[in-house]
């Protein structure tokens, strides 16, 4: 039975990694084409349009380097998290150490966010540079088994390199938004003329007009497409992290109970925002908050995650992609 479960988990991890790599590859191709179309629309020449492609790549590389080496620090600063030692929260430290040993990963840095809303997240670029953060509300409202389930979930994100994928996708989303905003603002201030010369009687001028229209449509839709893609990856990886957490902690009940408490809590996590919401174990922005309007869900429904975990608790094997659970023989 255990061997079968291990094989199932490995298959899920491999499938989700393949899907994520495919989505990122599609995203990179989209940004490259997007940059070229904007260059053509702005400069009116297919050769000079390579400048737009080069600009998109430069912006992406610069944003990528900054985010890769300092992204975790920016997230922690935005969350107003403070690093702690074993003496500050011995139970939390012991649980993280247990999950670090169970996963075979280095001990991550541990941070606390002083907020009464229960939640947690992991960040960093790899297991050697990982950080887990929990709110003070999580420590107050969860028992040890539930805390262990949450930490197993966060260490699963580290083990599965979800923290790196989240960072990479965030870079791509940010690059798309920057390029779109730059183009639309430039087009507005230039009166729709762009930076090139249009030949009113030539096919080149007509082609540039067509490219301007295409570029405007893409500039409006691209950020939406990028955001949907980011959320798609985030939701897949939450299911996977839940499944991996069960393997680490050997206690699906702890994580299921924790998710129910987190989901049912009415406290508002003030430091959460749209840029960091996808990092948390559960969506920190509640439906009743004004800032939730127009915000796509960054997580699969907690009810669905709990249902899968309860099936595992009862001795079943549940798919981590939202499919119906099936009992083992």
Examine the pLDDT at 327 and tell me if it is beyond 60: no
Most trustworthy range by pLDDT among 108-112, 159-163, 180-184: 108-112
Which of 175, 162, 166, 167 lies closest to 63 in space, CA to CA? 175
Catalytic residue among 146, 154, 238, 313, which?
154
Question: Range of 157's domain?
Answer: 2-327
Backbone phi and psi for residue 290, each to the nearest 5 degrees, phi listed first: -65, -35
The count of structural domains within the chain is: 1
Q: For 11-70, what is each residue's pLDDT tens digit?
A: 766 666 676 677 677 777 777 888 888 888 877 777 877 887 787 778 777 877 887 788
Q: Which pTM does this prediction carry?
A: 0.77
Which of 251, 247, 240, 260 lies closest to 307 in space, CA to CA? 260
Which pLDDT score, from 0 to 100, does residue 212 have?
81
Exposed, middle or buried: residue 130 (CB in 10 Å: 0-12, 13-18, 19+)?
buried
Exposed, middle or buried: residue 81 (CB in 10 Å: 0-12, 13-18, 19+)?
buried
CA distance linking residue 55 with residue 133, whole number of Å: 36
Q: For 221-276, what is each residue's pLDDT tens digit?
A: 877 777 776 676 677 788 889 989 998 999 999 999 999 999 999 999 989 877 78
Q: Is 154 a catalytic residue?
A: yes
* Helix (H) or strand (E) segment spanning residue 3: helix 2-43
Examine the pLDDT at 196 and tell me if it is beyond 60: no
Q: Distance from CA of residue 312 to its chain's centroid? A: 25
CA distance linking residue 183 with residue 192, whole number of Å: 10
Contact by Cβ (8 Å): 277, 283: yes
């Amino acid at each position: 039975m255990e061997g079968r479960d291990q094989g199932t988990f490995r298959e899920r991890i491999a499938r989700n990694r393949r899907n994520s790599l495919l989505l990122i590859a599609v995203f990179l191709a989209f940004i490259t084409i997007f940059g070229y179309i904007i260059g053509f629309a702005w400069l009116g020449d297919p050769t000079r349009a390579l400048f737009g492609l080069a600009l998109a790549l430069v912006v992406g590389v610069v944003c990528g380097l900054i985010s890769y080496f300092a992204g975790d620090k920016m997230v922690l600063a935005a969350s107003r998290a403070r690093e702690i030692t074993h003496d500050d929260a011995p139970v939390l430290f012991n649980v993280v150490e247990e999950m670090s040993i169970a996963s075979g990963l280095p001990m991550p840095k541990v941070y606390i966010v002083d907020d009464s809303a229960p939640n947690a997240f992991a960040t960093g670029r790899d297991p050697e540079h990982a950080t887990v953060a929990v709110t003070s509300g999580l420590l107050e409202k969860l028992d040890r088994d539930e805390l262990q389930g949450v930490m197993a979930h966060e260490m699963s994100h580290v083990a599965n390199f979800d923290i790196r994928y989240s960072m990479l996708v965030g870079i791509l989303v940010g690059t798309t938004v920057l390029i779109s905003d730059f183009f639309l603002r430039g087009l507005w201030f230039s009166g729709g003329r762009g930076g090139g010369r249009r030949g009113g009687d030539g096919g080149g001028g007509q082609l540039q007009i067509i490219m301007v229209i295409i570029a405007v449509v893409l500039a409006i839709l691209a950020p939406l497409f990028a955001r949907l893609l980011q959320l798609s990856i985030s939701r897949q990886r939450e299911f996977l992290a839940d499944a991996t957490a069960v393997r680490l902690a050997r206690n699906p009940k702890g994580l299921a109970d924790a998710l129910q408490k987190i989901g049912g809590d009415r406290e508002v996590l003030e430091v959460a925002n749209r840029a960091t919401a996808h990092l948390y174990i559960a969506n920190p922005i509640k439906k009743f908050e004004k800032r939730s309007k127009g915000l796509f869900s960054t997580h699969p429904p907690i009810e669905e995650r709990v249902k899968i975990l309860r099936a595992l608790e009862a001795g079943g094997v549940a798919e981590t992609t939202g499919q119906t659970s099936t009992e083992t023989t």
